[in-house]
Amino acid sequence: MADLFDDPPPSAVPPPVQRAAWLRDELARHSHAYFVLDAPLVPDAEYDRLFRELQDLEAAHPELILADSPTQRVGAPVQGGLATVVHALPMLSLSNGFEDGDIIAFDQRVMDTLSRDVALDGPVEYCAELKFDGLAISLRYERGQLVQGATRGDGSSGEDVTANVRTIRAIPLQLRSLAGPPPEVLEVRGEVLMYHADFAALNARQRAAGAREFVNPRNAAAGSLRQLDPAITAQRVLRFFAYGVGIIEGASLPLSHSAMLDWFRQAGLPVCAERAVVSGAEGLLDFYRLIGAARRSLPYDIDGVVYKVNSFARQRELGFVSRAPRFAIAHKFPAEEALTTVLDIDVQVGRTGAITPVARLAPVFVGGVTVTNATLHNEAELRRKDVRIGDTVTVRRAGDVIPEVVSSLPERRPADAREFVMPASCPVCGSAIERPEDEVIARCTGGLFCSAQRKQALLHFAQRRALDIEGFGEKLSDQLVERNLVQTPADLFCLTLADLAGLERMAEKSAQNLLDAIHQARATTLARFLYSLGIRQVGEATAKDLARHFGGLDGVLAADEAALLAVRDVGPVVAHSILRFLAEPHNRTVIERLREVGVHWAENQPVRASGNASVAGKTFVLTGTLPTLTRDHARELIEAQGGKAAGSVSRKTDFVVAGDEAGSKLERARELGVTVLDEAGLLALLAMPAGTTDDQPVLQPGEGGTMNQNTDQT
């Protein structure tokens, strides 16, 4: 078999039978590497090329087509609805726990039950795994061939989704041969889900096609799996993770759940790597906390973790209560979505005057806190979601992200529900609200005349990434503006102890501390200064580009459009925004006054992108925890050599620097074939002499750092 994996030399063109067999093996090997080993061997385009070659070959020689050829995944549409499948062994449900106490009690019950029959020697061993937020399905393999896929349904019977399941590349059409012949029958249970990136891409396509977008990856996965036409399912990238077993005939299972998962993986089934064998309640709770912290960096949604007594013999001893096994429990994370009602909708005015509609909600506990306000983003979003005052809505609060209204439930709409009307004038300052034809964001035209914008501008100016005035917060900004103590950021530097001591909750000591902090903040960098001005479209990265390019403020102030466009990553939109800001005499006055009151920085010579050719002009994305460098430090090192640190991975990314627990960004890098470095690799790159060019290998294995480009066969 092994020699079939080498592309035959062109001189010896193999007969079509052999070429087709080679292509099928090669395609299966790549799918396995991608979906099961999580280590792609070739870029997607190479897979596509091999796939097309096999398709062409089979078209020319239809006798070569085999049922389990990767080209045969998409079958004919199902007529007259999905058939019902009665599960040979019912698909059980899981009982839920929410608090530590629930888990401690579960472990105690397990110990009590087991020790009735045998003396327990120490804590119980569990297999802990993720609880995927997808759809449970059962796959039936007969003699290693996939013959049926069915949804869980009510646990006793589900829907026949064989044709759709066959289109899921993560699901092998044929099991890899283990020692001995394949089992007569093997039912594999697991979850079908959609990764965040694939969900976003699907919704972008839906939007472009004017079709309905999906609310979340779970719904998208469910909708995709229950299609009547498998050609549609085939266009949706679904994944699968195996976590259980149904009927098994003609083979015996390993002795534990964790050994079974390993066995599945060897058989070519995707099994999630995020799993552990742990002991006792303490081990379970440690796993819960570990996964809770890493949850955001996973490329898919989970809604908790699942614990299973590891030994199958002990599982049998424990048995079931009604439809749920006594040997397993789901430990759920606090729900991130909840239903509540919209009491009112009003608008908030942001730093740049952006008007954001905000839903005032009946208080609801979601994502671990009580939420009373949720953003509706903008008018177009609000209309698309058709949210009305009085509606029942789904609110989502994930991690530290601002709570948002996800969707409304029109079927629960009361008769007196009212539509939101965008105000014509700013509720804070009364200035007109305008929305340019081609933009989605409406804005208050009041500028710094609008106190809402002034407050936000001050907060932006003082924030950590700008002038970094310690102790400057929202309450303070509100008071300074409301008492007319501060009109522009420059006024901050003229505040006196008496001004501050008169404010609410401001003792003399804290007033003095604040004055000191303001005084200290005068020493800054040009990049921070430019960022602090709050010019639209000028974020931190652009501010740094500008500072690096011009070296000093006067260069920026004098720049015309052509000069701005010469700055890396500055395009016409950013250039116009800067020019518009600087054309406003008022803004120039504020800048002058800031210099007068002593805000200063070291002016540099403009940096030419020549420091280290391996780094200068290159875009880096940092992800995960590096062993010694903080992310900020790594970023500074990259920037010091003319490189740029970006937040997300795209085709323009040159390097992804990945540490521990790197998640979706690393995944994306692999998908796009972006070079991945670890910390040692980054440091080696930074130490490289000037003049190293693009086409020289950046690092050789064994040179102190490691690098893997996923086109290499690792």
Q: Which residues bind ligand D41 (CB under 6 A)?
A: 92-94, 129-132, 136, 152, 189, 191, 243-244, 306, 308, 325, 328
Nearer to ligand D41 by Cβ, of 308 and 644: the residue is 308
Query: Which amino acid is located at 378 in the chain?
Result: N
The CB-of-504 to ligand D41 minimum distance in angstroms stands at 50
- C-beta of 88: minimal distance to ligand D41 in Å? 15
Q: What is the DSSP string of 564-616?
A: HHTSTT--HHHHHHHHHHHHSHHHHHHHHHHHHTT-B----PPPPTTS-TTTT
Q: Which of 131, 618, 644, 665 is catalytic?
A: 131
Euclidean distance between the first and final Cα of the chain, in Å?
A: 20
Query: Bridge partners of 511?
Result: none
Residue 75 vs 292, nearer CB to ligand D41: 292
Choice between 301 and 404, CB closer to ligand D41 = 301
Phi, psi of 104 (to 5 degrees): -60, -40
If the CB atoms of residues 131 and 169 are measured against ligand D41, the closer one turns out to be 131
Q: Whats the size of the chain, residue-wise?
A: 714
21 Cα distance to chain centroid: 38
Structure tokens at 200: 């976003």
**What's the CA gap between 235 and 252, in Å, rounded?**
37
CB of 375 to ligand D41, least distance (A): 30
Closest distance of CB 412 from ligand D41, Å: 27
Quote the CA–CA distance of 633 and 624 in Å, as a whole number.
14
Give the position of tokens 């942001």: 350
Kindly report the number of other CB atoms within 10 A of residue 339's CB atom. Answer: 13
DSSP string, 121-154: -SSPEEEEEEEESSEEEEEEEETTEEEEEEE-TT
Nearer Cβ to ligand D41, position 192 or 459?
192
Q: Which residue is nearest to ligand D41 (CB)?
A: 244
| Strand-pair partners of 366 | 369
| Cα distance between residue 147 and residue 162, in whole Å | 7
> Is 131 noted as a catalytic residue in this protein?
yes
Q: How far is 171 from 271, CA to CA, in rounded Å?
A: 11
Which three-class secondary structure state does DSSP give residue 251? coil
Using the minimum distance from each CB to ligand D41, give the nearer residue, 191 or 404: 191
Nearer to ligand D41, 240 or 243 (CB): 243
CB of 516 to ligand D41, least distance (A): 53
State both tokens at 585.
Answer: 């005499």
CB 531 within 8 A of CB 540: yes
- For the bound state, the minimum distance from the C-beta of residue 308 to ligand D41, rounded and expressed in Å, comes to 6
Q: SS3 of 46, please?
A: helix
Cβ neighbours of residue 165 closer than 8 Å, sequence gap 6 or more: 137, 139, 146, 149, 171, 192, 225
**Identity of the residue, 243 or 420, whose beta carbon is nearer to ligand D41 in the bound complex:** 243
Residue whose entry in the numeric block shows the structure tokens 């259980």: 244
Residue 192 CB, nearest approach to ligand D41 (Å): 10
Least distance between ligand D41 and beta carbon 520 (Å): 51
Number of neighbours of residue 76 by Cβ within 10 angstroms: 9
Q: How far apart are CA 46 and CA 68, in angstroms?
A: 21
Q: How far is the CB of 321 from ligand D41 (least distance, A)?
A: 12
Q: Whole-angstrom Cα distance, residue 456 to residue 428?
A: 13
Nearer to ligand D41 among residue 192 and residue 527 (C-beta): 192
Cα dihedral across residues 395, 399, 400, 401: positive or negative: negative
DSSP, collapsed to helix, strand or coil, labels residue 13 as coil
- DSSP state letter for 615: T
| Residues recognised as catalytic | 131
